[in-house]
Amino acid sequence: MTGAAVSSLAQLTRADVEDFLYTEAGLLDTWELDDWLALYTADARYVIPCTGDPDGDPGRDLVLIDDDRLRMQARVERLNSRKAHREYPHSNTRHLVTNVRLGAVEAGELPVRASFSVWRFRGGRETSYVGGYHYRLVLEAGALKIRSKRVVLDMTALRPASGVRCLRRYSFAISSIKGASLPLATWNSSTNRSSAIPSGQPSGQAPGLGEEALRAAEFGREVIGGERQR
């Protein structure tokens, strides 16, 4: 039902929602990022929790991605320019969506779950991600929109990377993850680089991610449309 006016979420069939999700996947694969962003509401939220904490709350837990619409717009603008040199020319990607399930409409939102696999090909390398999507869909002026999207990864660990970007928008402290001690670092959002904090530094100076935790940021355009460093 993509492109057709919808009067009620309750009238949507699974085939309607599948068509909508396929449209989103296709826009990412063809790099039509402005049209992809237009599928989201102005108050949209996009979250990817860490692999070891699929139920993680961005308000208190480390997450791989926690984007509002403004941050998503910034990603799109960067990728539409040549500033995203790691993605120029663009990678070849393929987003596959399956096992779509609709929940009951709640407070004007339609909960949807789906399975996915994403493949990325660039420079003779291939990368794959597998997991599940958790959507909250709404109607705006008769058009289906995404208010919330949560991407839960099935992998138990991410591949280490020599050049990574932290896709978290805030600076915060992590002293351990599941009992493993981590060095503290500050994150400079303007340069996308971290710098270690000496162990004796007063805690009042806001620390950020440890270098080990930064490996968790080997994400980007394959799943959300953000730049991936390699």
Q: Is residue 131 part of a domain?
A: yes
Domain limits at 196?
9-217
Total number of domains in the chain? 1
Q: Is residue 3 part of a domain?
A: no
CB-CB contact of 129 with 223 (8 Å):
yes
Structure confidence at residue 4 as a pLDDT band (50, 70, 90): low
Round to whole Å and give the CA distance between 13 and 66.
30
| pLDDT at residue number 79 | 86
Q: Is residue 106 part of a domain?
A: yes
Q: Is residue 222 part of a domain?
A: no
Q: Is residue 87 part of a domain?
A: yes
SS3 per residue for the chain: CCCCCCCCHHHCCHHHHHHHHHHHHHHHHCCCHHHHHCCEEEEEEEEEECCCCCCCCCCCCCEEEEEEHHHHHHHHHHHCCCCCHHHCCCCEEEEEEEEEEECCCECCEEEEEEEEEEEEEECCEEEEEEEEEEEEEEEECCEEEEEEEEEEECCCCCCCCCCCCCECCCCCCCCEECCEECCCEEEECCCCEEEECCCCCCCCCCCCCCHHHHHHHCCCCCCCCCCCCC
What does the pLDDT look like over 45-82, one tens digit per residue? 999 999 888 899 999 999 999 999 999 999 999 888 87
CA angle 159, 53, 94 (to 5 degrees): 50
Q: Is residue 142 part of a domain?
A: yes
Q: Is residue 228 part of a domain?
A: no
What does the pLDDT look like over 101-140, one tens digit per residue? 999 999 999 999 999 999 999 888 999 999 999 999 999 9
pTM for the model stands at 0.70
CATH code (residue 146): 3.10.450.50
Residue 113 tokens, joined: 């779950």
Q: Is residue 14 part of a domain?
A: yes
